[in-house]
Structure 1
Amino acid sequence: MSDTNISLIVYGKNDLRLEERPIPEPGPKEVQISMRSVGVCGSDLSFWEKGRLGNLILSAPKVSGHEPSGVVTKLGSEVTHLKVGDRVAVEPSKPCGNCFYCRRGLYNHCSKPINSGVLTRYISHPANFVYRLPDNMSFDEGALVQPMALAFYACERAGLRAGQNLLVTGAGCLGMTVVLAAKVFGANKICVTDVLQKRLDFIHKIGADVTVLVEDNENPELAAKRLVGMMGVEPDISIETSGSQSATSTAIYANRPHGMILQLGFSIDTVQIPLVVATFKELDIRGNHTSRNSYDKAIEAIASGRVNVKQLISHRFPLEKSLTAFKTAASKEGAKVIIDCSRPNGI
C-alpha cells in the first residue's frame, strides 16, 4: 500500500478497512491539513460495532473519526487568517452556511451538513472551523479540544453555575470531559455513576467528589436514593453521558425539583423514562447535539492549564494499527485512545 492518503473507512458492522484515497485539494475558503493526532470516540465505535449511532444508520462507507489536530499544508485562495505550517485543532463541522439553522447561527443543526471523517493522512476543511493551537499545546491535546468543546457546551446547555451540585451518569471519556469542564464552571459537588469500578476510580482521581457503582439491572429509583445518600444532597443538574435508559431514569429520580436533566449520551431511538416523576418535579429535560462556538473556550482552558486533558490519554497507535486502536477503546481498557495519522517521514 502506497503512503499518500491512507484512510480508515467504516463499511458497516465490524468492517473497518484501510484504503488509499485521493489527497483533497482545498477550495477557495478551505485549507488542506496534514492530520496528526485523532481521538477515538464512542460514536466511532458505535458505527463500527453496530453500523449505526442511535437513529443515524450508516448508509454508505465513510471515513471514521472526528477528534482531529494537524498541520496546515495548503491554503485556499481566500484564506487569510491561517498560514502553511500552523498547528491546528479542527472542528469537524462542515455546515452549508445557507439553511434556516445556519443563517441563525445554529450551525450544529445544519440541514445539509457534510460529514467527512478525519482518520486519514490529509483533509481539506472550511478555514472558519480551523483553530490555531498555542505553542504550549501538543497535537494530542489538540485532538481533545473536540470532546472538551462538547463538554463545555453541555455545561452551558445545562445552565451549570458555580456552587451547584452535579450528577454525571457514565464515567467514560465523555463523562470524564464533563467532570473537567464542570470544575471550570465551579460545580460544588460532583457525583459520577458507572457500571465499572475501574472507571470510577480513574474519574475520582481527575475531579469527581463522589463515585457510585451501579448494576446494569439495578432499579433506577433505588439507585437514585443510594447516590443521593452518598452525595448528601440532591443534584441541581444531571448530565447523562452513557446513553443508558436506566441512567436517565436514575437522574430523574435523583434530581431535585426544578432542576435540569441534560441528555448528552444516546444509544437507542426510544427509551422509557419516569415522565410522571419528571413532571411532578417540574424538571427541565434538554437534549444536546455536538457543540457550537465552544472551541476557543476549550483551547483557552487547556492552554492555560485550567483543564488537564493529557491525563486522559492512555493509548497511542499509528494509523496503520487503527483496528487495534478501536479494539482497545472498545475493551474499555484505559481512558482515551489516540491514533497518530502522521506520515512516516513526518510530512
Structure 2
Amino acid sequence: MVDVLIRTGSVAITGSDIHVYENGNRDVEGMTLGHDATGFIEEVGQCVHHLHVGDRVVVESALSCGICDLCKRGLYNMCGGLVYNGFLATHQVHPADLCHRLPDSISMEEGTLTQTLALGCQACFKGNITPTSSVLIIGSCPTAVAAAMCSTAIGCKQVVIASTMNSTLEMVQKDFKFETVFFDSNALFGEVLEAIYRKFREWPNCVINCAISAMTMNLAVMALQPCGVCVLSECESECASFNALDILMKNIRLIPSFRSTNM
C-alpha cells in the first residue's frame, strides 16, 4: 500500500473551485471541491516510509495516471487522465508521494497556500528570472502576487504589478509593498505603456501574464525589451489576438506555465 489516510486540517477555496461550483456540468460531476489543503496523517500504507502518523502535510490534489508518455517523462501536470481529489470532507485517502511534510514554523492555514506559491515560482523559473531581471507582472490574482514574491526572493532588479483592479492593487501595495500600475481596460495602449515605463525607467525584460487577454498580450509584447520573455500563466480570455510581427521583430519568447510540476 502506497497511500495514507489524511484527516483534513485546513482547506482553501480557489477560483477554480468557484468556477466548477458555478459552471459545473456532467463532464465534472466526479470532481469535488477544496483542492488546496493540509491535513494530519492518521494511517500509512505498508510501503510508505517517508511519512508517519501525526505528520502535518500539504497535499497535491491532482492525480495523474502515472503510465502515459507524459507522466513517464515527468510531465504529470499534462496527463490526459488527470483527476482532482477535493478535501471538503473530514478524511481522505491519498497517494503518499503527493503529500509533503510541513515545517513546524508553517501553520495549517498558511500551508494551503503552497499550491499558489508553486504556480508563482514555476512562472518565475520558466521566465529564467535572475537578479538582473526587470519583471512586469500583469494581473492581481493570488498567482500574480506569488510570482512577485518569488521574483523578489530571487533578488530581481525590479518587480511591478499592473492590473485593472485598483482595490486589489491597493491591498498589494499596503500588505506586500510592491510597486503597482493601475490601468483602465479601455485605456489607450500608449497611456498604459507610458505609466509602465515611468515605473521601470526602462522596458522590462520579463512579463508574467496572469490575466491573458487581447489587451494584456499586446501590452506585454509592446512593453518587452528585444529578446524578452513573456510567461503565460493565468487566462482571462480564451482567445487573445496580438501583433505577431512584434513577436518576430523583437525575438520575444512566449512560454506557457500551466498548472505546476515538481514544485
TM-score (structure 2 length as normaliser): 0.93
Q: Which residue of 1 aligns with 2:117?
A: 148
Tell me, yes or no, if the aligned pair for 2:48 and 2:96 is still in contact at 8 Å.
yes
Secondary structure at the aligned position of 1:262 is classed as strand
After superposition, the Cα gap between the structure-2 partners of 1:116 and 1:216, relative to the gap in structure 1 and judged at 3 Å, is same
1:274 aligns with 2:247: no
Letter in 1 for 2:135: L
Taking the aligned partners of 1:161 and 1:167, their CA distance within structure 2 comes to 14
Q: Which residue of 1 aligns with 2:214?
A: 245
1:33 aligns with 2:11: no
Q: Which residue of 2 aligns with 1:174?
A: 143
Taking the aligned partners of 2:20 and 2:30, their CA distance within structure 1 comes to 10
1:196 aligns with 2:168: no
Q: Which residue of 1 aligns with 2:71?
A: 102
Q: Which residue of 2 aligns with 1:42?
A: 15
How do 1:175-324 residues align onto structure 2 when only pairs under 5 Å count? 175-207=144-176, 209-294=178-263
After superposition, the Cα gap between the structure-2 partners of 1:218 and 1:44, relative to the gap in structure 1 and judged at 3 Å, is farther
Distance apart, 1:255 and its partner CA: 0.9
Alignment RMSD (CA, Å): 1.9
Distance apart, 1:231 and its partner CA: 2.0
How do 1:122-161 residues align onto structure 2 when only pairs under 5 Å count? 122-161=91-130
Distance apart, 1:66 and its partner CA: 1.6
Deviation by residue 1:109-133 (Cα, 9 ceiling, x = unmatched):
1232222222322221111110111
Deviation by residue 1:187-218 (Cα, 9 ceiling, x = unmatched):
11111111122211222245454311111222
Letter in 1 for 2:186: N
Q: Which residue of 1 aligns with 2:40?
A: 71
Secondary structure at the aligned position of 1:63 is classed as coil
Secondary structure at the aligned position of 1:163 is classed as coil
Taking the aligned partners of 2:214 and 2:28, their CA distance within structure 1 comes to 26
Ranges in structure 2 where 5+ consecutive residues have no aligned partner: none
Secondary structure at the aligned position of 1:31 is classed as strand
Taking the aligned partners of 2:9 and 2:53, their CA distance within structure 1 comes to 15
Deviation by residue 1:61-80 (Cα, 9 ceiling, x = unmatched):
52112211111122122211
Specify which of 53, 57, 78 is matched with residue 88 of structure 1.
Answer: 57
TM-score (structure 1 length as normaliser): 0.71
After superposition, the Cα gap between the structure-2 partners of 1:127 and 1:61, relative to the gap in structure 1 and judged at 3 Å, is closer
Letter in 1 for 2:6: I
Tell me, yes or no, if the aligned pair for 2:58 and 2:112 is still in contact at 8 Å.
yes
Secondary structure at the aligned position of 2:71 is classed as helix
Query: Percent identity at matched positions?
Result: 26
Deviation by residue 1:42-82 (Cα, 9 ceiling, x = unmatched):
22222234448xxxx95425211221111112212221111
Distance apart, 1:259 and its partner CA: 0.3
Secondary structure at the aligned position of 2:231 is classed as strand
Distance apart, 1:220 and its partner CA: 3.5
1:163 aligns with 2:132: yes
**Greater RCO, CA 8 A, separation 6+:** 1
Taking the aligned partners of 1:81 and 1:175, their CA distance within structure 2 comes to 33
Taking the aligned partners of 2:184 and 2:20, their CA distance within structure 1 comes to 26
Ranges in structure 1 where 5+ consecutive residues have no aligned partner: 1-27, 295-347
